[in-house]
């Protein structure tokens, strides 16, 4: 067995692997991060590492997992160290990140996490707990008060279970201690992420203690963010390949692309790193950035995941290498783009070109099945908002409808070659029930459109939308996903 990456083995790393040059022992914990997945390690933690490297030692990160001990067991034996490997073609840039100081597993000791979040040095709580981790209804954004963990948090916050529960409990502890609130920074692809976590926390606080709610409303800050960097899940092969570069084993490594972007609304409850000097855009209005990213990047990602995955294509780059799929993505973007008000500084044609190049990065091996996960939580902001906006203007939605139909076909749990797979989604049991109970494809589409957690009532009731999705679904059944994409592209006017 090779040696593990740790503070003690940093000296043994090859010169090409960048590593922290600041005094890690002098770093204070200014950030608590909930959900230390791959994305946090390749995105926000890199920015905090940059802040530390620039000499501002207030921004060490305490990571917390709200579920399993996996990342704690990867990082704590490595003194929190791990590498970010930027992959592009044959390029492999390795950088060891020192910002994460340690990782807690919340269910093992919820009170310890609340106490850590209530520490006076903590100024920010950042979150990447996935869309479903907010316990919000995906279509309306309301706190799911019938969720058993939310119910438990509402009746007793001494041992929280949910992300809004931890934030509320820690803010209550800070209020009781006479401390200011921390800034809550959601870094998930949730629409209006700041406003949504704020509403969830205010809702929870209001049911527990109206005085706490008023205090959070007056003093709290929940900036909206747009976050972007493609960070596929790490595989054992990635760990092995990295070991041959580093000379030591790094169980916590993450792989990513060169591109990274973080846009944050200028709304903070206290100190923050000097974001402007760290390449982070601090701006008054994040919404146009968010809409563009969710509808163009993520909308295409979900379409690629369902329509590529059903055709048996494993990776995103394999999908966009097929000319019909690439043309389909452009058609989807034409529809989505027409619904956007791009922010100053975003040139959409250039952005689309960059996105296609990012998707084509074959060194990432970004699995379609990973992106297909949790579709019920993703569809509203990625595809359905654009559909609704186009219907309002009486514009057709054929490409978007094919993507939505791809999600519906995915709910069957069988690909075009007849291989069964697990539908990984918090609403999978509900979609399966609806699919199994439907007599024929049109009834199946109707039963899924009737799922109010995903489809807003006005969209579900729109006969033009139902017809487009039903036709697309019939095409998927008749031709398979790749055939349906090819037929769709054939039907486009020649440009
Ligand atoms: P991951 O699977 O590596 O990590 C997910 C984290 O969320 C884990 O810590 C997990 O314990 C936690 N989590 C999952 N379900 C939860 C729940 N119900 N309650 C509380 N915590 C829960 O995933 P990754 O790649 O870190 O992505 C996480 C999120 O980050 C995404 O869902 C997305 O919103 C956002 N994001 C991801 C990007 C990427 O390319 N990976 C890029 C931009 C945003
Ligand atoms: C992806 C995103 O998994 C998914 O659903 O669409 O995580 C995507 O990689 C990021 O949003 C890129 O910033």
Mutate to test the pocket of ligand 1, among 65, 82, 130 (most ligand atoms within 8 A of CB): 130
119 lines ligand 2 (CB under 6 A): no
Say how many C-beta atoms besides its own lie within 10 A of residue 237's C-beta. 9
Which own/partner pairs from 258-261 qualify as long-range (CB within 8 Å, at least 24 positions apart)?
Answer: 258/86, 258/88, 259/228, 259/229, 259/230, 259/354, 259/358, 260/42, 260/43, 260/46, 260/228, 260/229, 261/226, 261/227, 261/228, 261/229
Q: Beta strand 82-88 with 91-97: parallel, antiparallel or unpaired?
A: antiparallel
Q: 44 and 260 in contact (C-beta within 8 Å)?
A: no
Please give the torsion angle defined by the CA atoms of residues 196, 202, 207 and 212, in that order, rounded to the nearest 10 degrees: 160
Query: What domains appear along the chain, each with residue ranges and CATH number?
Result: 7-283 (3.40.50.720), 287-491 (1.10.1040.10)
* Count of other CB atoms within 10 angstroms of residue 440: 8
CB 137 within 8 A of CB 144: yes
Which residues face 18 on adjacent strands? 95
What separation in angstroms does the CA of 432 have from each of 414, 422, 446?
A: 12, 11, 14
pLDDT at residue 69, rounded to an integer = 98
Task: Specify the pLDDT at position 437.
Answer: 93
The pLDDT, as a whole number, for residue 2 is 78
3-state secondary structure of 33: strand
Residue with the smallest CA separation from ligand 2 atom 4 is 371
Which residue owns the Cα nearest ligand 1 atom 39? 231
What is the distance between the terminal CA atoms of the chain, rounded to a whole angstrom? Answer: 58
Which residue's alpha carbon is nearest to atom 43 within ligand 1? 228
The ligand whose atoms approach the alpha carbon of 373 most closely is 2
Question: To test ligand 1's pocket by mutation, which of 32, 36, 39, 358 has the most ligand atoms within 8 angstroms of CB?
Answer: 39
Atom 7 in ligand 1: which residue has the minimum CA distance? 129
Q: What is the pLDDT of residue 494?
A: 81
- The pTM is what? 0.98
The tens-digit pLDDT sequence of the chain (495 residues) is: 679 999 999 999 999 999 999 999 999 999 999 999 999 999 999 999 999 999 999 999 999 999 999 999 999 999 999 999 999 999 999 999 999 999 999 999 999 999 999 999 999 999 999 999 999 999 888 999 999 999 999 999 999 999 999 999 999 999 999 999 999 999 999 999 999 999 999 999 999 999 999 999 999 999 999 999 999 999 999 999 999 999 999 999 999 999 999 999 999 999 999 999 999 999 999 999 999 999 999 999 999 999 999 999 999 999 999 999 999 999 999 999 999 999 999 999 999 999 999 999 999 999 999 999 999 999 999 999 999 999 999 999 999 999 999 999 999 999 999 999 999 999 999 999 999 999 999 999 999 999 999 999 999 999 999 999 999 999 999 999 999 999 999 999 886
Tokens of 86: 């930027």
Residue whose Cα lies nearest atom 3 of ligand 2: it is: 371
Residue 1 is predicted with a pLDDT of: 60
Cβ of 260 closer than 6 Å to ligand 2, yes or no, is no
Ligand 1 binding pocket (C-beta < 6 A) is 35-40, 65-67, 128-133, 163, 188-189, 227, 229-231
3-state helix, strand, coil in the chain (%, to 5): 50, 15, 35
Q: Ligand 2 centroid vs 282 CA: distance in angstroms?
A: 22
- Whose structure tokens read 């997945």? 37
Instruction: Indicate the top mutation candidate among 129, 196, 262, 359 to test ligand 1's pocket, ranked by most ligand atoms within 8 A of CB.
Output: 129
CA 171 remoteness from chain centre? 24
List the strands of the sheet with 183-186, edge to edge. 100-105, 60-65, 29-34, 124-127, 183-186
Looking from the CA of residue 378, the nearest atom of ligand 2 is 5
**pLDDT at 229 (0 to 100):** 98
CA of 25 to the centre of ligand 1 (A): 29
Distance CA 480, CA 303 (A): 14
Which residues are within 8 A (CB) of 343 and not within 5 positions of it... i.e. 6 or more apart? 283, 285, 288, 289, 292
């Amino acid at each position: 067995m090779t040696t593990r990456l740790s503070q003690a083995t940093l000296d043994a790393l090859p010169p090409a692997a960048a590593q922290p040059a600041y005094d890690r022992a002098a770093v204070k914990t200014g950030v608590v991060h909930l959900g230390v997945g791959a994305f946090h390690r390749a995105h926000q933690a890199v920015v905090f590492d940059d802040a530390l490297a620039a000499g501002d030692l207030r921004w060490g990160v305490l990571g917390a997992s709200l579920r399993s001990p996996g990342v704690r067991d990867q990082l704590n034996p490595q003194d929190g160290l791990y590498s970010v490997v930027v992959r592009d073609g044959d390029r492999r840039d390795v950088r060891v990140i020192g910002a994460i100081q340690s990782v807690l597993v919340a269910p093992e000791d919820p009170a310890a996490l609340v106490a850590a979040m209530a520490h006076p040095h903590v100024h920010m709580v950042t979150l990447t707990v996935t869309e479903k981790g907010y316990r919000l209804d995906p279509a309306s954004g309301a706190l799911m008060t019938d969720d058993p963990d939310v119910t438990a948090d509402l009746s007793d916050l001494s041992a929280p279970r949910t992300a809004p529960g931890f934030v509320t409990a820690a803010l209550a502890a800070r209020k009781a201690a006479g401390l200011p609130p921390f800034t809550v920074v959601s870094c998930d692809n949730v629409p209006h992420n700041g406003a949504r976590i704020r509403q969830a926390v205010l809702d929870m606080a209001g049911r527990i203690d109206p005085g706490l709610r008023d205090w959070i409303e007056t003093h709290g800050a929940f900036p909206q963010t747009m976050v972007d960097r493609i960070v596929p899940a790490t595989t054992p092969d990635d760990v092995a390949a990295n070991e041959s570069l580093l000379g030591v084993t790094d169980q916590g490594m993450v792989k990513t692309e060169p591109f990274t972007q973080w846009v944050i609304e200028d709304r903070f409850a206290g100190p923050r790193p000097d974001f402007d000097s760290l390449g982070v855009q601090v701006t008054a209005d994040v919404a146009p950035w968010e809409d563009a990213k969710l509808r163009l990047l993520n909308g295409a990602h979900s379409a690629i995941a369902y329509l590529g995955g059903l055709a048996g294509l494993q990776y995103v780059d394999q999908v966009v290498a097929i000319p019909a799929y690439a043309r389909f993505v452009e058609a989807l973007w034409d529809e989505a783009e027409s619904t956007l008000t791009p922010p100053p500084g975003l040139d959409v044609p250039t952005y689309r070109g960059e996105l296609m190049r990012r998707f084509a990065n074959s060194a990432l091996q970004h699995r379609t099945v990973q992106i297909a996960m949790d579709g019920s939580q993703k569809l509203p902001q990625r595809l359905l908002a654009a559909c609704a906006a186009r219907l309002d203007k009486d514009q057709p939605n054929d490409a978007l409808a094919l993507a939505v139909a791809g999600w519906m076909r995915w709910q069957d749990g069988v690909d075009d070659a007849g291989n069964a797979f697990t539908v990984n989604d918090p609403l999978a049991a509900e979609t399966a029930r609806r699919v199994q109970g439907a007599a024929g494809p049109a009834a199946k589409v109707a039963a899924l459109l009737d799922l109010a957690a995903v489809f807003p009532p006005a969209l579900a009731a729109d006969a033009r939308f139902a017809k487009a999705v039903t036709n697309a679904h019939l095409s998927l059944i008749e031709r398979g996903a790749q055939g349906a994409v090819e037929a769709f592209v054939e039907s486009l006017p020649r440009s």
